[in-house]
């Protein structure tokens, strides 16, 4: 029996998927979690064979949970996402996930992927993988990408400047250049765009 922890902040999706997967003769849903922190706590306590984690959850997202579990629990993580962007895939692979698929997959396909992953294989959705391989080079300089990385959690200009050993004015100049190059109006929009494309 494959013991599965399921985490998704959308209750209807979580309960429906749990019900469908429970119909499989070799899969047992041992926990249903509504957010990343709960998934992390339950996984440490229950040690499931596979954690099926939604990417977009409040607090810790699915990749954050997978990265932390990699250091503490011998489980295999599969990320399920509505927005299967190349940058998210690269981040997930860096966190050591064993599977990555969009939410458009049916329950039978998800069950088969769980079996593959539990057996030691990896599964990456072919379309997402193809998109990740065809991503263009970023229009930003390496220093501009550093500024976006340093401010991706909403850090102030002063905090970014200190972390990169730059003057605040220099950071402001980089941010102005970033916004112009990406045709966005806020730094947060620039961060989201850069993450979607896998630049940071």
Give the tens place of pLDDT for each residue, 4-33.
Answer: 999 999 999 999 999 999 999 999 999 999
CATH 3.40.50.2300, the chain: domain bounds: 2-133
pLDDT tens per residue, range 88-100: 888 888 899 999 9
| Residues sharing a CB contact under 8 Å with residue 44, sequence separation 6 or more, in sequence order | 69, 72, 73
pLDDT confidence of residue 137: 72
Are 47 and 53 in contact, with CB atoms under 8 Å apart? no
Instruction: Note the CATH architecture for domain 2-133.
Output: 3-Layer(aba) Sandwich (3.40)
pLDDT tens per residue, range 169-200: 999 999 999 999 999 999 999 998 888 777 88
- Which among 31, 97, 98 has a CA at the least distance from the CA of 66? 97
Domain 142-196 in CATH 3.60.20.30? The answer is no
CATH 1.10.10.10, the chain: domain bounds: 142-196
């Amino acid at each position: 029996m494959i013991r599965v922890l399921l985490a998704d902040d959308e209750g209807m999706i979580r309960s429906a998927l749990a019900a469908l997967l429970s119909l499989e003769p070799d899969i047992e849903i041992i926990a249903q979690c509504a957010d990343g922190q709960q998934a992390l706590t339950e996984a440490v306590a229950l040690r499931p064979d596979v954690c099926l984690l939604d990417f977009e959850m409040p607090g810790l997202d699915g990749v954050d949970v997978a990265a932390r579990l990699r250091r503490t629990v011998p489980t295999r993580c599969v990320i399920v996402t509505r927005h299967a962007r190349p940058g998210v895939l690269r981040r997930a692979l860096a966190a050591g996930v064993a599977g990555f698929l969009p939410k458009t997959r049916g329950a039978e396909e998800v069950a088969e992927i769980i079996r593959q992953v539990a057996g030691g294989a990896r599964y990456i959705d072919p379309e997402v993988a193809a998109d990740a391989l065809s991503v263009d080079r970023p229009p930003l300089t390496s220093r501009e990408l550093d500024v976006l990385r340093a401010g991706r959690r909403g850090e102030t200009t002063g905090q970014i400047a200190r972390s990169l050993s730059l003057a605040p004015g220099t950071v402001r100049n980089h941010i102005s250049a970033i916004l112009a190059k990406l045709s966005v109006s806020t730094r947060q929009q620039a961060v989201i765009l850069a993450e979607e494309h896998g630049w940071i």
